[in-house]
Amino acid sequence: MNIVDKIKKLVHEKIGELNTFDIGKITDANNLRLRYNVKLKHKIGGNEIELFNVPIAPFWFNAGMILISLDIDDIVGIAFSNYELKQQLKNKDITDVNEVLKFDMNNAIIVSGAFTDVDEIPSEFENGAILIKHKDGNYIKITSDDIITEHKSGAYIKINVSGEIAIHGSKVDITKL
């Protein structure tokens, strides 16, 4: 092996040690603290790897948030911070971190869910739509023309682009207008 091949091999090995993004499976869920245990979907050196007390990164800004509780066996995307995640999440202030501990597996944060090849895409979803759907079947769907809130019972409220409102249910009780 010549020197160029040796350097390429060394660089490839070192880059392979960096943790940047991974796929995992929730093994324990604490939705009250938004912390989860996650087992990686692949083995490292023949061993299963489980990460503990991993926080979630929901869509959360000053204007509001979308927060979805995770459940055991959910498949999730995990990102790894360059630096100590625990130190950075203590408060909203800029903080000092240990610059030596980079890309450590303990600096994991759940950034999304992930569909596997066997998961069914919700039938209510369409191109260009925003869909918020609960696993029990209730959903909110927003398109360029409509906003629909539908309950698994079949009851719904639909507002279309011209301002028409349709309400369907077995009993509609409007107490105040």
pLDDT digits (tens, 9 = 90+) for 106-152: 788 888 888 888 888 777 777 777 888 887 888 898 888 999 999 99
Residues 10 and 75 in one domain: yes
Q: Which residue's entry shows tokens 């990686």?
A: 40
Q: What domain count does the chain have?
A: 2
Residues 127 and 176 in one domain: yes
CA distance 122 to 135: 10
**pLDDT at position 176, please?**
66
Q: Last residue of some domain: 113, 144, 161? A: 113
**pLDDT at position 130, please?**
80
> How many Cα atoms are found within 13 Å in the side-chain-facing hemisphere of 100?
0
**pLDDT at position 90, please?**
85
Q: Last residue of some domain: 73, 92, 113? A: 113
| Owning domain of residue 62 | 3-113
**pLDDT at position 40, please?**
93
CATH number, domain of 135, equals: 3.10.450.190
Q: 27 — phi, psi (to 5°)?
A: -110, -20
CATH number, domain of 20, equals: 2.40.50.230
Residues 89 and 14 in one domain: yes
Taking the model in full, what pTM does it have? 0.71
Contact assessment for residue 24 and residue 78, using Cβ atoms and an 8 Å cutoff: yes
Residues of the chain with confidence (pLDDT) below 70: 15-19, 102-103, 176-177
**pLDDT at position 98, please?**
80
Q: Under DSSP, is residue 104 helix (H, G, I), strand (E, B) or coil? A: coil
Q: Last residue of some domain: 84, 113, 142? A: 113
Residues 65 and 129 in one domain: no
**pLDDT at position 177, please?**
59
Residues 109 and 126 in one domain: no
Please give the C-alpha separations between residue 177 and each of 159, 163, 172, in angstroms, as whole numbers.
Answer: 17, 17, 13
